[in-house]
Chain A
């Protein structure tokens, strides 16, 4: 049993990064994730990592690029507007195939928006965000414990596939406190022969680039990237389900709304409604195969995507359901978390019309 603490989501993420052997952290303060850099700044004297408060999120992500290419375990964290600023860098990192961890403790947008929790960055996270054909692994924790577990997993997946891994959390999970069990520090021994650590006499020079100016070269690079993405899609899909076996109506939700959705399922079950929850943990790769399975099940009547957005993940749900069953969307924006009461009303109304 690891150490038990009562922690904020943001602090838990920071502590987990330390225990995962993070060597460099580069960040810029923005609500509601500033606790991460504050926590890491306070802990820095007790550990070996380097922390820089960068001049902008643009600088942060490019420091991440430099540190990752130098072979180090590196991370940055931000919130929605800051994550927008990082998109060019994420695209470069994806193409240069560098491992790193980025966390977006999302708030409500668009624009400067609100500092309350939001899920309006789903498209940006899973469909690219930056330019060009790339994908990144996106993990969506829904508890403080998962802020720990997913941070450690993110570093491992990043190294395994040489890819940026995004933790897409939100202000509610970042700000709330729960009991967490922290793992012992994980010994980390980098094995990165591709890193730019200085050209020793026994090897050719390493260079890290995302520039392939000849079309043929660029296409070859793309083909190899896509091959990697297919492999990730095959191996790394993660999801969680609740009361799904006999469910006739299925909620799909991730992050903080998957927590409220559990409560919604409980309340619905008390009222005799056979409601279940499918919660994608990896938003990319998306659990499409599993949703196809559920949609092909005769007893399942409809899907309901519950989000803090104007309807984003619902598009991936619909792609998977592919017309087999009606798929509805209920969402709130502006940092408002849909309440169990309003969601149950919506589900009952729609189910009544089926």
Chain B
């Protein structure tokens, strides 16, 4: 530290020093940071085991300084299920995108929730396949253009976007369900509080925790980061309302 300077901000110690590969403006980096801040603040780094998916966050284990497993596409819920069952006193989370959690892995997602597997789903919903170059996701909005819905998503032939949080909320096994975003500082702070709440619920061992993050993809959406934040407010949140859908005792 240079004389006369003081630290007013630093990343949590639970993140590695590796430079993130995410595109400029992507919410993944924000979510990694606030989640790992929670891990640091709760002092659970030694007990935390994560699962990363196939998708943009496939390299999450390069950034999160906790033990992690890379799952096959869609299977993070099955993998996390077994980790938690084998190591019940650890804090377990899966970190998944929409293609992973809501298309190829829908069965694993719903059944893990239905069994009430005691781990945290962090579901990053940006409505597009980012890693493979901007194809339609199960959560792509009606009318939204992607490389595989060039005229816009047509609900008649492609179905309407899946609302995963609403789908898992009524399941008995789910103890906590919420939808957050990272589009502005207020929502980022809210998201962090929700992550903490979810992990505290995991400590109580009363059911699955499911947190959906309404996210962005400036590259795939073919817009600037700022425009992508506007899109979240104007298009995404009206279809995917934010808030806590289910929590213990309520």
A contacts B directly (C-beta below 8 A): yes
Tell whether, in the assembled complex, residue B71 and residue A65 are in contact, meaning their CB atoms are under 8 Å apart.
Answer: yes
Tell whether, in the assembled complex, residue B81 and residue A66 are in contact, meaning their CB atoms are under 8 Å apart.
Answer: yes
Tell whether, in the assembled complex, residue B69 and residue A205 are in contact, meaning their CB atoms are under 8 Å apart.
Answer: no
Tell whether, in the assembled complex, residue A206 and residue B82 are in contact, meaning their CB atoms are under 8 Å apart.
Answer: no
B201 interface residue (CB < 8 Å to A):
no
Q: Which residues of B contact A59 (CB under 8 A)?
A: 75, 78, 107-108, 111
Q: For chain B, residues 68 to 118, give those with C-beta under 8 angstroms from any C-beta of chain A.
A: 68-72, 75, 78-83, 85-87, 90, 107-108, 111, 115
B51 interface residue (CB < 8 Å to A):
yes
Tell whether, in the assembled complex, residue B46 and residue A198 are in contact, meaning their CB atoms are under 8 Å apart.
Answer: yes
Tell whether, in the assembled complex, residue B75 and residue A62 are in contact, meaning their CB atoms are under 8 Å apart.
Answer: yes
Q: Which residues of B contact A124 (CB under 8 A)?
A: none
Report the Cα distance A161→B164, complex, angstroms: 41
With an 8 Å Cβ cutoff, the count of chain B residues facing the other chain is: 32
Report the Cα distance A206→B67, complex, angstroms: 5
When A58-B75, A59-B107, A92-B72 are in contact, do A24 and B67 touch as well, CB less than 8 Å? no
Report the Cα distance A92→B68, complex, angstroms: 15
Report the Cα distance A106→B150, complex, angstroms: 46
When A196-B49, A199-B66 are in contact, do A24 and B107 touch as well, CB less than 8 Å? no
When A66-B83, A69-B69, A205-B68 are in contact, do A198 and B78 touch as well, CB less than 8 Å? no
B124 interface residue (CB < 8 Å to A):
no
B245 interface residue (CB < 8 Å to A):
no
When A63-B78, A70-B86 are in contact, do A198 and B69 touch as well, CB less than 8 Å? no
Tell whether, in the assembled complex, residue A209 and residue B61 are in contact, meaning their CB atoms are under 8 Å apart.
Answer: yes
Q: Which residues of B contact A205 (CB under 8 A)?
A: 61, 65-68
A160 interface residue (CB < 8 Å to B):
no
Report the Cα distance A66→B93, complex, angstroms: 12
Q: For chain B, residues 34 to 59, give those with C-beta under 8 angstroms from any C-beta of chain A.
A: 45-49, 51, 58-59
Q: Interface of A with B (CB < 8 Å)?
A: 23-24, 26, 50, 52, 54-56, 58-60, 62-67, 69-72, 74, 88-89, 92, 96, 196-201, 205-211
Q: Interface of B with A (CB < 8 Å)?
A: 45-49, 51, 58-59, 61, 65-72, 75, 78-83, 85-87, 90, 107-108, 111, 115
Known contacts A199-B48, A208-B69; 6 additional CB pairs below 8 A are A24-B85, A66-B78, A69-B69, A198-B87, A207-B61, A211-B59
20 contacts across the A-B interface (CB closer than 8 A):
A52-B115, A59-B75, A59-B78, A65-B71, A70-B69, A71-B87, A74-B86, A92-B72, A196-B49, A196-B69, A198-B46, A198-B90, A199-B45, A199-B48, A199-B65, A199-B67, A205-B66, A207-B69, A208-B69, A211-B58
